[in-house]
Amino acid sequence: MYTLHGALASPYSMKMRAILRYRRIPHVWSQGASARSAAAQVKAPVIPVLEYPDGHFAYDSTPLIHDLETRHAERSIVPDNPVHAFVAHLIEDFADEWLTKAMFGYRWLEAIDQEQMGVWLAFDMLQGGSLAQIEGTARPFRERQVGRMALVGCTRDNFPLIEASTRHVLAALEAHVTDRHWLFGTRPSLAEFAIFGQISQLGVDPTPQAMLRAKFPFTYRWLAHVDDASGVEGGWDERLSPVVEALLAEAGRIYAPFLLANAAAIAEGQDSFRIEVDGMPYTQGSFGYQVKCLNALRRRHEALPDSVRGEVDALLAKHNLMVLFA
């Protein structure tokens, strides 16, 4: 039996819980003090942490996904078509590393979100202990998170670009989910779960929840379907759907220049970088982890069979993503 140590307010925890549910992998969901203890068992003290049946612990949702794929063959979340598999991995990375900025920004920019989510997150962590203790724990936690805004690029100056990109993604999903529920067929892929993880938090926090209900109501409802898709049976389509093309286009518009600018800053020893898209600026401190993500995408691209590389490259070029692999 696996144990997933996580939190309701963690997009990557929700992503992994939904994957375990869909794949019908027996597991226990654990949060609060046990999650904090589990985080101390891994190199970087972050959640979620997956505790394996043999007692060892591992973290980082993307490696966990691939390890579970090697251990459990049934109900895979990687499309059979190698072109679609590559695209799904790219969209997963885009969601994990770019859409997460919407989650963080919406949560900590405005006072109404700071205050509610600060006490709710403390409530989740403590699971009791008195209102005074919850409020006392929430205050320094909220201040710490707000203080990290500039570090992760979620400033007021940057947020117009983050929000515009998020709305493009939501609009593409809204047009799709009323027609065809999943991205690559009649079953979910790792791309849906990554998108779900981030948007699941927008569906809870006051400001973005109001936006979802007003502008993207079916996407908001879709979140509940992804959260537990254990009853879904289906297969993979042979052709890419328009929503996948729309997501690739947004990744090419925003994520490709973001990754390249960050990698250049790291290579040149700079502690920050700046991009501008559609007249909207974005500035952030440079992060080594995003270079790791870029290199992982490049290794995956290099490993493509010759028989599909041309098709993948044509798709990447169409959406301004080939620059990542040149």
The answer on 166 and 92 residing in a single domain is: yes
pTM over cut 0.85: yes
CA gap 16, 3 in Å, rounded: 11
The pLDDT tens digits of the residues spanning 22-36 come to: 999 999 999 988 888
- What's residue 42's pLDDT? 87
- Give residue 263's pLDDT band: very low, low, confident or very high (50, 70, 90): very high
Domain for residue 24, yes or no? yes
Residue with tokens 């870029």: 294
CATH of the domain at 8: 3.40.30.10
Domain for residue 315, yes or no? yes
The answer on 137 and 98 residing in a single domain is: no
The answer on 212 and 276 residing in a single domain is: yes
**Closest by Cα among 113, 133, 111 to 122:** 133
The answer on 139 and 163 residing in a single domain is: no
CA gap 268, 133 in Å, rounded: 46
pLDDT, mean of residues 169-186: 96
pLDDT, mean of residues 96-122: 94
Backbone angles phi, psi at 276, to 5 degrees: -140, 130
The pLDDT tens digits of the residues spanning 229-251 come to: 999 999 999 999 999 999 999 99
The answer on 280 and 143 residing in a single domain is: no
Q: Among the listed ranges 9-23, 44-58, 186-200, which one has the minimum average pLDDT value?
A: 44-58
> Which residues form the domain of 121?
110-147
Domain for residue 281, yes or no? yes
